[in-house]
C-alpha cells in the first residue's frame, strides 16, 4: 500500500537538543542553568522534571474550597468525577481526612513523592485548612515533598508560613503583567473584604503576585510560574511575562492551553472564546524558551489528582475505601525508600548518558512532527486505545518532546478499531483532526479503517516499532525519511517509505 504524500512545507527552525531517554519534556539539560543545590531539588520532582514524571507520582488533596478571585476560564465543580481539569474534585476533604488519604496513597503507591494543595479554590484563601494539612504532613510523612499552588493574591502575607512548614516548591499562576490585559481575564478580586473589579482589581493582583514571587525567591523557595494561553487576550503578552518572572527568580515557566469547552460552564466557554491550536501553543512555548526553561509535560491536573502525571487513580482512593484500609506508614516508609533509591539510580544512569547528535541526516533537512501512542516511554498503545498522543519533533539535532494531545477512546475491542464500534466515523474523524500538523503516527497496532483515514489526512501510520523506546523509534523513522533525500527544501514533496 502506498503511503500518503506529505507536503514539504517551509521548515521551522529546530531548537534544543534531544530529551531524556524516557521521552518527555524539554531537553534534559533544560535546568542546567540552575545552581546545583536547586537542581538537586527539582530533578526528581514529577511536576517539574520531564524525566522524573515517568517514574515518580504525585497527589493533590482538595482541602481549599474558597477562592479570592474570579477567572474567566474557571468554574469549580465539587463531587465531579467526569471532568479532568483544574478546579474539579470528587470529594472535598478536611485536613484530617487529607492526612489519612495521603498516608494511604503513599503506602499503596510507594513511588508517590510529592503532595500538593492546588484547590479546588485557592489554598491561600483557605489558610487555616491549608497550613493545618501541611503541619500534620510534616510530622507524619516527613519523606514527602510539599508543594502549594496559588493565584498569588494573598501570597505575600503567607510567605513566612510557607517557609515555616518547609514548603520549598510554590507554583504561582501569572497570566499577565499588564492590568489592561488582566481586566480581560479577571472580572474581579476579593481584597480587603470587598470586591474590586476590572483594571483596578487586576493591578492589585499583579502587584501581589510580583511581590510574592520576589519574597519567595529571596528565601530560596523554588517558584514555578503557570500561565494560561488565551488567544487574542494574552498570547503575545506572555513573552513579556516569561522575561519578567525569569528575571525575578522563577526557575520554570509552564504555558498551558486555555480549556474553554462550553459544557464546563466557564465564561470563556459560554462566550466561545477560542482555545489555542497545538501550533500556537508550541510557537509560544518555543518563543519563551529563549528566556526561560519551559515545562511541556503538564496535564492540567484535577485538584484531587493521584498517580503519575497523566494518569488519575483517584477512584481507587475515595474516603469510603480509605476508611477500611489498615495503613502502617512506618513500615511503608521502608518500602518507599527502597523504591525511591531504585528509581534515582535509574535516573542517574540516564543523566550520565549523553546522546550523540544523529548521524546520516543531510544538513538542512526540515523537522518532522510525529504523534506517538506511547506509555512508559515506549510505543506501547493501540491507535484506537490511546486517550492521548505524545507529539515529538525529529530534526537533524535530535528528538524533542513538544506536547501531548488528548483524544477520545476510539476502540473498545482488543483486535479491531473502527469495525462495528458505535459512531466510529465522527469519533475517528475528531481524533484525526487532533493530530493535525503531524506527518507520522507511531503506535503498537492500528486497524484498517483508521489506517486509511490517516493516509487520506496526510498522516503516515506506522505500527512497525511496537514496544520500542519512543525516541529511538521516532529517530529511526526520521532517518528512513531523510534517506530518501526528500526532507530537503529543494524537493517538492515527501513520501514516507
Q: What is the DSSP code string of 138-171?
A: HHH-TTSEEEEEE-STTHHHHHHHHHHTT--EEE
d(Cα 108, Cα 111) in Å, to the nearest integer? 9
pLDDT at residue number 458: 92
Residue found under cell 528509581: 343
Beta strands per DSSP E along 429-476: 440-442, 460-462
Q: Tell me which CATH code domain 28-321 carries.
A: 3.20.20.70
Cα-to-chain-centroid distance, residue 261: 19
Angle of the 238-247 helix axis to the 278-289 helix axis, nearest 10: 30
d(Cα 168, Cα 487) in Å, to the nearest integer? 46
Domain 368-483 fold: Nucleotidyltransferase; domain 5 (3.30.420)
Residues of the chain with CATH 3.30.420.130: 368-483
pLDDT at residue number 296: 62
Residues of the chain with CATH 3.20.20.70: 28-321
Exposed/middle/buried for 103, CB within 10 Å: 0-12, 13-18, 19+?
buried
Cβ contacts of 192 within 8 Å, gap of 6 or more: none
Q: What is the mean pLDDT of each run of 10 residues along the chain (497 residues)?
A: 36 33 38 60 63 72 91 66 54 90 87 85 94 93 90 96 88 96 96 96 97 94 91 93 92 85 78 86 79 60 66 76 83 83 78 72 89 86 87 88 78 50 69 90 91 92 92 92 81 46
H-helix or E-strand spanning residue 474: helix 470-483
d(Cα 222, Cα 147) in Å, to the nearest integer? 10
pLDDT at residue number 497: 42
List residues bridging with 255 in a β-sheet.
227
DSSP helix, strand, coil percent of the chain (3-state; round to 5): 35, 20, 45
Amino acid at each position: 500500500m502506498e503511503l500518503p504524500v506529505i507536503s514539504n512545507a517551509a521548515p521551522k527552525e529546530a531548537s534544543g537538543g534531544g530529551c531524556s531517554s524516557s521521552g518527555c519534556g524539554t531537553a534534559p539539560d533544560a535546568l542546567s542553568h540552575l545552581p546545583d543545590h536547586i537542581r538537586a531539588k527539582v530533578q526528581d520532582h514529577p511536576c517539574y522534571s520531564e524525566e522524573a514524571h515517568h517514574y515518580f507520582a504525585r497527589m493533590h488533596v482538595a482541602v481549599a474550597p474558597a477562592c479570592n478571585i474570579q477567572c474567566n476560564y474557571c468554574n469549580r465543580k465539587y463531587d465531579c468525577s467526569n471532568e479532568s481539569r483544574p478546579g474539579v474534585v470528587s470529594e472535598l476533604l478536611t485536613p484530617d481526612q487529607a492526612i489519612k488519604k495521603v498516608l494511604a496513597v503513599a503506602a499503596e503507591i510507594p513511588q508517590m513523592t510529592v503532595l500538593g494543595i492546588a484547590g479546588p479554590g485557592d489554598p491561600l484563601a483557605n489558610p487555616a485548612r491549608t497550613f493545618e494539612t501541611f503541619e500534620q504532613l510534616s510530622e507524619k510523612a516527613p519523606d514527602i515533598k510539599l508543594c502549594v499552588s496559588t493565584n498569588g493574591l494573598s501570597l505575600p502575607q503567607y510567605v513566612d508560613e510557607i517557609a515555616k512548614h518547609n514548603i520549598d516548591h510554590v507554583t504561582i499562576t501569572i497570566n499577565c503583567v499588564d492590568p489592561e490585559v488582566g481586566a480581560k481575564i479577571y472580572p474581579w478580586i476579593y481584597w480587603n473584604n470587598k470586591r474590586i473589579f476590572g483594571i483596578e482589581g487586576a493591578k492589585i493582583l499583579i502587584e501581589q503576585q510580583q511581590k510574592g514571587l520576589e519574597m519567595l525567591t529571596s528565601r530560596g523557595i523554588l517558584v514555578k510560574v503557570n500561565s494560561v494561553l488565551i488567544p487574542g487576550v494574552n498570547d503575545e503578552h506572555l513573552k513579556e511575562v516569561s522575561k519578567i518572572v525569569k528575571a525575578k527568580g522563577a526557575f520554570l515557566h509552564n504555558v498551558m492551553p486555555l480549556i474553554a469547552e462550553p459544557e464546563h460552564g466557564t465564561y470563556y466557554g459560554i462566550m466561545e472564546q477560542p482555545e489555542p491550536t497545538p501550533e500556537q501553543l508550541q510557537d509560544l512555548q518555543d518563543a519563551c524558551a529563549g528566556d526561560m526553561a519551559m515545562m511541556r509535560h503538564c496535564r492540567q491536573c484535577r485538584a484531587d489528582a493521584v498517580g503519575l502525571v497523566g494518569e488519575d487513580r483517584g477512584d481507587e482512593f475515595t474516603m469510603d475505601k480509605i476508611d477500611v484500609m489498615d495503613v502502617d506508614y512506618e513500615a511503608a516508609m521502608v518500602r518507599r525508600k527502597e523504591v525511591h533509591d531504585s528509581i534515582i539510580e535509574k535516573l542517574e544512569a540516564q543523566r550520565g548518558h549523553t546522546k550523540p547528535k544523529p548521524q546520516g541526516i543531510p544538513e538542512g533537512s526540515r523537522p518532522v512532527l510525529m504523534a506517538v501512542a506511547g506509555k512508559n516511554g515506549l510505543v506501547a498503545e493501540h491507535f484506537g486505545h490511546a486517550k492521548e498522543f505524545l507529539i515529538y519533533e525529529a530534526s537533524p539535532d535530535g528528538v524533542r518532546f513538544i506536547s501531548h494531545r488528548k483524544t477520545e477512546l476510539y476502540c473498545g475491542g482488543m483486535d479491531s478499531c473502527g469495525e462495528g464500534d458505535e459512531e466510529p466515523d465522527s469519533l475517528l474523524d475528531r481524533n484525526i483532526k487532533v493530530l493535525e500538523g503531524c506527518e507520522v503516527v507511531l503506535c503498537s497496532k492500528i486497524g484498517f479503517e483508521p489506517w486509511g483515514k490517516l493516509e487520506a489526512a496526510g498522516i503516515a501510520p506506522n505500527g512497525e516499532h511496537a514496544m520500542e523506546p519512543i525516541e529511538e523509534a521516532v529517530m529511526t523513522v526520521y532517518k528512513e525519511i531523510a534517506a530518501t533525500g526528500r526532507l530537503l527544501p529543494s524537493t517538492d514533496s515527501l513520501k514516507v517509505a
